[in-house]
Amino acid sequence: MKRLAQMPVKPHPAKFTNTHLEEIVKILGGSRELNVLDPFAGVGTIHNLPYFTRGLELEPEWADQHHATIVGDALDTGFDNECFDAVVTSPCFGNRMADSFKAKDDSKRHTYHHYLGRPPSKGSSAIMQWGKEYKEFHRKAWLEAKRVLVLEGKLIINIKDHIRNGEIQPVTKWHIETCLDIGLKMEGEVSIPVGGLTHGENYEKRIPHESLLVFSKKVALEDSIS
Ligand SMILES: C[S@@+](CC[C@H](N)C(=O)[O-])C[C@H]1O[C@@H](n2cnc3c(N)ncnc32)[C@H](O)[C@@H]1O
């Protein structure tokens, strides 16, 4: 995909925090030899981890903020089968940050569209609200992650539920069930407290934590007995 020349640095609304990175290191351990992919890399916070990291990001304005991130699509990464020890990523959460309209009200501007200053690109999950399209997209993303993982490699997904029409939307549960359904093994879940409010939340109704879901790619039965 073509890079845009002389682009101003665009901020990102949903970066990994140091707490996320510290927890990820606790999960993966200290080996500097690990090859790690983030297929939804944003501005490349993943590259602060002490591993060999690669990032893919659909939006050039964000991908270009780190040399180890390339512009690409998480559903079709172009990497060989079984070439990463871990896939570590934060997909979009399907919440109000996916709203894609020109907000006139300053309080409603915590969206991917607003931070980019234009609508997210075709094929972006950053404009998918929690629902059928969001689920179909992420099932494909986790199948692609599984394909590029070595056997026993780990998939770590950062995710968060949200409240819509007064009800908790079970986004985290859906990602767990989908990863189990495509044959990954669940190793654990780490809760990460989050402060502040995101668009559409209020103090009574916010969900005060995100999760890091940890899966591993199981050895297929035929591999283990051959
Ligand atoms: C939650 S953000 C990740 C932020 C990142 N962890 C960081 O610290 O900067 C999710 C990212 O996925 C990107 N994205 C959405 N659809 C994509 C796709 N099909 N392929 C690659 N990236 C995509 C969005 O543009 C957004 O930057």
Residue 204 confidence (pLDDT): 45
Going by C-alpha positions, the residue among 97, 87, 94, 95 that lies closest to residue 136 is 94
- Per-residue model confidence as pLDDT tens digits over 12-47: 999 999 999 999 999 999 888 999 999 999 999 999
3-class SS of residue 32: coil
Q: How far is the CA of 37 from the centre of ligand 1 (A)?
A: 13
pLDDT at 220: 67
pLDDT digits (tens, 9 = 90+) for 74-92: 999 999 999 999 999 999 9
Token pair, residue 57, equals 């990001």
Q: How confident is the model at residue 8 (pLDDT cuts 50, 70, 90)?
A: confident
Q: Which of 83, 76, 190, 213 is nearest to 144 (CA)?
A: 76
Determine the pLDDT at residue 196: 59
Would you give the distance in Å from CA 117 to the centre of its chain?
Answer: 21
* 220 Cα–ligand 1 center, Å: 30
Ligand 1 pocket: which residues have CB below 6 Å? 12, 14-16, 39-43, 45, 56-59, 62, 73-75, 90-92, 120, 123-126
Question: In the structure encoding, which two tokens stand for residue 41, read together?
Answer: 């890399």
Taking alpha carbons only, the member of 206, 214, 122 closest to residue 175 is 214
Q: Going by C-beta distance under 8 Å and a sequence separation of 6 or more, which residues neighbour residue 53?
A: 36, 37, 38, 46, 47, 68
Q: Please provide the CATH number assigned to the domain covering 18-225.
A: 3.40.50.150
Question: Is there a contact between 50 and 33 (Cβ–Cβ < 8 Å)?
Answer: no
| Cα 144 from chain centre | 13
Domain ranges in the chain?
Answer: 18-225
Q: Is the pTM of this model over 0.85?
A: yes
Residues 6+ apart with CB under 8 A from 100: 111, 112, 113, 119, 120, 127
The mean pLDDT of 122-144, rounded to a whole number, is: 97
